[in-house]
Structure 1
Amino acid sequence: MGSGPARGRNRRVNSFRALLPCLVLTALLPALADAQTLTPDMLRPVRGGFVSLEDSPLRKIAPARAEGLPEPSGDPRRTPDKPAPSRIGQLPTYGTPAANGAADVGYDSLNRKRKKPKYYPGQARPKPPVGPGSQPPPVAPVVSGRVRIAPPPSEFANKTPLPPAMAGTVAGQPLRKRLKLDDDPFGAVGDYAGSFLLKGAVELSTGYDTNPGRLAAPQGRPFYVIAPEFLAVSDWERHAVVADLRGSFNGYGQNLTPNADGTPLSAPLDIDRPGFTGHIDGRLDVSRDTRLTGQGRLLVATDNPGSPNVQAGLARYPIYTTVGATAGFDQNFNRLQVSGGATVDRTDYQWSKLTDGTKSSNDDRNFTQYGGIGRVSYEVMPGLKPFGEVQADRRVHDLYLDRNGYARNSTGGYVKAGSSFEFSRLLTGEIAVGWAERSYVDARLPRLQGLLTTASLVWTATPLTTAKYFSDTQLVETTLPGTAGILVRTHTFEVGHDFRRWLTGIGKFSYGTLDYQGNIRKDQTYSVSGDLIYKMNRNIWLKGTLRRDWLESNVPGSSTNSTVVMLGVRVQN
């Protein structure tokens, strides 16, 4: 235990030691508070890696160096007599300055102006804004000494919104399927009835024919034509049904004048003639390679004017009808295709009405035909498919003997070989050559035979010009005594050109031969025509036709000629 004064002194020393930390903190608090206050000048980099305080003499060094001026003297770091500045309250910086290695064309985070970049040949370049309303490149704003890059503008900014049908694509929506190019912008559109596409049309025409009866002494008459059409096509994923029906009626409104000497005309007095041709085709897809096919058909017509089958003294043409059906199949064996079918057709003639008021029977011209047809084809390459076809039939007449005492029952057929074409859609169709013949029960009738030619070719020479070639051979019945039949061959050449999509010109030339086997008669026919079609819209067309027909025969008084002028309108849907 010490004396009293010593104990008091020790007590004061201990109290001072306890208060010393508080005094030190009290003295340093203002300095520490000032050290935590940052100003923009503190962010300027200077030599030595420190940022000066408000009262630091180093503030004058960095601006001078940045502007290329001589540095002010009196740097305390270079004066050995003065101590180095205290690091208390100074903010150190680390690393290299911003954009130190960006060279001349690199990215600069401070957004300073740089040189334009150079590109190698073929190198992709950024696309500049195009058109009015385009957004300029984003500007980097500076906030409190820090750089903030603005986000790029939206691709839909400053653009008027468009409906999806016009814009084509919308963000977040699947791509729309491109519409198919309309090959016929003035063609009929049609209407749907269930799963069938229906198209209808009617042509109304009027004109003048210099020799409608095809007489040796021409008698001209004005005429009118009404020609309706109907087409129905199924729209199914499998199977198919197609109905194509076309009719016509030629009305003259005035009968021909009888001969002054009282001899009958080689044409009826009433020369009005109806016509109809139609067929309904069906296909049943049993499997990918097997199909069942069927067809029903109807033909309504009269004998052609000028034909020797026309009776003398007729009041009007007798009408005949042919109704038929076919049932068959198609079978594919890879590239090999085999087709076959059975056919039956029935032909009936009306009774003839004569000028004296009596009627004459045509039952001897009525017959039923039974037959079959087979075809084999092989696809050598895409667009080239050769084939071979054979057909046989038997005709049975209602009357065993005709009006002249000849037995007209017969058997016949044909064989032909050819190929179908489809080269880049420029040449399509098929062509074939063969032989056809028919043998009659009556030995007095010779065999009807001859070279068979069939063709149906379409050549698209240019997008605006199309050339077509058609050829056909038929064995036709006749009532001439001692004549087996008529071997009829026809060849048609047609060229169509679109001067405009709405203005089309068509030129046509036809040539035919009629060989009356068993008879000395030989006929040749020629026809030249020109059509001009003005398509007002999809529903209304205007049409003009000029045609010249010739019939040259080796029989005296049988040659005829005629000129036809016709104007019409076509209404379709």
Structure 2
Amino acid sequence: MLCLLAVAGALPAAEYALAEELELRGTIAGSLIGHGDPKLIDLIDTGAIEDPSYEPVSSADLPARPDSGSMLGSGITVSASEKGATPPSLSTSPLSERTNLRVGTVSDPARRLNQRIQPLQGAKLRRDENPYAPMGIRAGTITLFPTLESGITATTNGTSSPGGDSAVLSETRLELRGNSDWSRHRLEFGGNLDYQNALSGDVEPELRGGADASLRLDINHSLAATASLGYAAERESLNSPLAVAGVDRQPLKHQLTAALALERGLGPLRLTVAGEVLRETYDAARLSDGTEISQSDRDSTLALARLRVGYEVSPAFLPFVEVEAGRRIYDEDLDSAGYDRSAKRFGARAGVVTDIAEKLAGEVSIGWISEDFDDSRLRRLSGLALAASLQWSPIRGTNVFLDASTTVEGGSGADSGSILHAAALRVERQLRSNLTGDLRVGAEWRDFDAGGHDLTLRGQASLTWWLNRYAALVARLGHEKRSSSDPSREYDATSVYVGMKFQR
């Protein structure tokens, strides 16, 4: 019985030795082991086959010196059971003579053939922060954002002017905005078209609109150029101090602007040189009998040059000073009253540019501006110049916008003109994901050189309720009131608007 057991125990060992001698002996390419073939590594790890010897052709073919605990370099390590005792052949023979080395596991993930991947079912979906924001229309590297709004307005003063009557108006506004998606440079453009028609009341149909475009070229890391072009057309307002008296139809006013600026960075210094041209033309005014009164004596061109020097205290704070000089030239040497209204323009201001990411951005400045007429009978027109364009986000979902400007307005006859200061504050709040509230207040102060003033106050509250990403209901309530040193120029108007807005 004992003999049978001894023979049975010896058979597996003999079979293993025979298989090794007849089938598994031979040279295996070392490159296969180096590339981590799983089958070969398993055979070597179990001792089924020997690690082949490696004889370098030159010293450049020698492997890098292994780290502590490493056998064949990065990725193949000695098993834990062998760290305590190093085989004698490992210390007495060169690498080319070492055979029958036990290869451990491949620890370099890059050598694994079957990488673990994240299942699609387990991936987290990114939540859309504003599910009702416009998606836009992709056209190559340009994204277009069209908007159409149409509704009905009921107002107590259809012309927003002294003596205006109540009216019901239909209003339609078409707007298109776009921007580029380039790795360098930036293009922005837009346009709008507004049509207003009276459903009841004595209000003439009105069509006004405009377009603008701006291109920024990043020439290098410290030099950039910006070019802009704009056009706007609208009828002279009945509440304007330049409105033509006694006419049935006020003239149509056209404005064309073009500007070019170069900005250079010299360490913390920021230098900007800019040029701007403003062209204003007027169509003829029309009397009730169809007769037209030419307004060509009001056509003019204003050319300005500006120099701004700023110092970057920090990326979020850049104070600056700016000076400007230019000339306003009228197409006709004398206006209808016999005055030469061409003038030299000067201005200076100081301000600050701020850019705190997602919190506060824009600029604000204060200074002085003046126009000195060529006709000595006209007094110099000068005054305080205010400018602001700020966007502030105090908390998530709330945006505050502040805009301010100063405009030099022309006059007629012996009147030099006026200076108009305007400011507007707008607060936008996302009340719910599909409900947005908007509150606006504004003020205008017009100071006449001949004496007197106008103060106009405006207020408006609106709600926008999005039915889906593409359509919304809009409601607005507004009030406007003017007080003046001349009672004949005073008026007030209250209006209610209800309509729909569509976007893409």
What TM-score bracket applies, with the shorter chain setting the length? 0.7 to 0.9
The whole-number CA distance in structure 1 between the counterparts of 2:501 and 2:306 is 38
Match of 2:175 in 1: 229
Residues 358 and 254 of structure 1: CA distance in aligned 2, closer, same or farther (over 3 Å): farther
The whole-number CA distance in structure 2 between the counterparts of 1:545 and 1:34 is 102
The whole-number CA distance in structure 2 between the counterparts of 1:422 and 1:289 is 18
- Corresponding position: 1:207 with 2:178: no
> Which among 218, 222, 239 is matched to residue 185 of structure 2?
239
Q: Which residue identity is paired with 2:192?
A: R
After TM superposition, list the pairs within 5 Å mapping 1:452-531 onto structure 2: 452-479=385-412, 481-517=413-449, 519-531=450-462
The whole-number CA distance in structure 1 between the counterparts of 2:247 and 2:418 is 22
Shift of 1:307: 1.9
Shift of 1:318: 1.4
TM-score by length of 1: 0.66
Bigger Cα displacement from structure 2, 507-516 vs 373-382: 373-382
Match of 2:3 in 1: 32
Shift of 1:424: 4.4
Does the residue aligned with 2:3 lie in a helix, a strand or coil?
helix
Residues 31 and 452 of structure 1: CA distance in aligned 2, closer, same or farther (over 3 Å): closer
Deviations 1:380-433 (A, max 9, x none): 112111122222221111111112222110111321111112234222221111
Shift of 1:478: 2.6
Does the residue aligned with 2:297 lie in a helix, a strand or coil?
helix
Shift of 1:462: 1.4
Residues 217 and 234 of structure 1: CA distance in aligned 2, closer, same or farther (over 3 Å): closer
Q: Which residue identity is paired with 1:304?
A: S
Match of 1:569 in 2: 500
> Which among 103, 123, 126 is matched to residue 168 of structure 1?
123
- Whether contact under 8 Å (1:255, 1:271) holds in the other structure is no
The whole-number CA distance in structure 1 between the counterparts of 2:247 and 2:277 is 31
After TM superposition, list the pairs within 5 Å mapping 1:117-516 onto structure 2: 164=120, 166-168=121-123, 182-253=128-199, 256=202, 271-479=204-412, 481-516=413-448
Shift of 1:546: 0.6
Give the CA RMSD over aligned residues.
Answer: 2.2
The whole-number CA distance in structure 2 between the counterparts of 1:246 and 1:478 is 29
Shift of 1:306: 1.6
Relative to total residues, which structure has the larger strand share, 1 or 2?
A: 2
Deviations 1:110-160 (A, max 9, x none): xxxxxxxxxxxxxxxxxxxxxxxxxxxxxxxxxxxxxxxxxxxxxxxxxxx
Does the residue aligned with 1:338 lie in a helix, a strand or coil?
strand
Residues 405 and 535 of structure 1: CA distance in aligned 2, closer, same or farther (over 3 Å): same
Shift of 1:277: 3.0
Q: Which residue identity is paired with 1:302?
A: R
Does the residue aligned with 1:370 lie in a helix, a strand or coil?
strand
Does the residue aligned with 1:271 lie in a helix, a strand or coil?
coil
Shift of 1:492: 1.6
Residues 309 and 255 of structure 1: CA distance in aligned 2, closer, same or farther (over 3 Å): farther
Shift of 1:221: 0.9
Bigger Cα displacement from structure 2, 451-460 vs 308-317: 308-317
Residues 507 and 34 of structure 1: CA distance in aligned 2, closer, same or farther (over 3 Å): closer
TM-score by length of 2: 0.74
Residues 445 and 255 of structure 1: CA distance in aligned 2, closer, same or farther (over 3 Å): farther
- Whether contact under 8 Å (1:272, 1:316) holds in the other structure is no
Aligned length: 397
Shift of 1:459: 2.0
- Whether contact under 8 Å (1:213, 1:271) holds in the other structure is no
Q: Which residue identity is paired with 1:244?
A: G
User: Structure 1: 5+ residue runs without aligned partners?
Assistant: 1-29, 39-160, 170-177, 257-269
User: Structure 2: 5+ residue runs without aligned partners?
Assistant: 10-116
Higher CA-based Rg: 1
Does the residue aligned with 1:33 lie in a helix, a strand or coil?
helix
Match of 2:100 in 1: none
Could you say which structure has the greater relative contact order, defined with CA pairs below 8 angstroms and 6 or more residues apart?
2
Percent sequence identity is 25
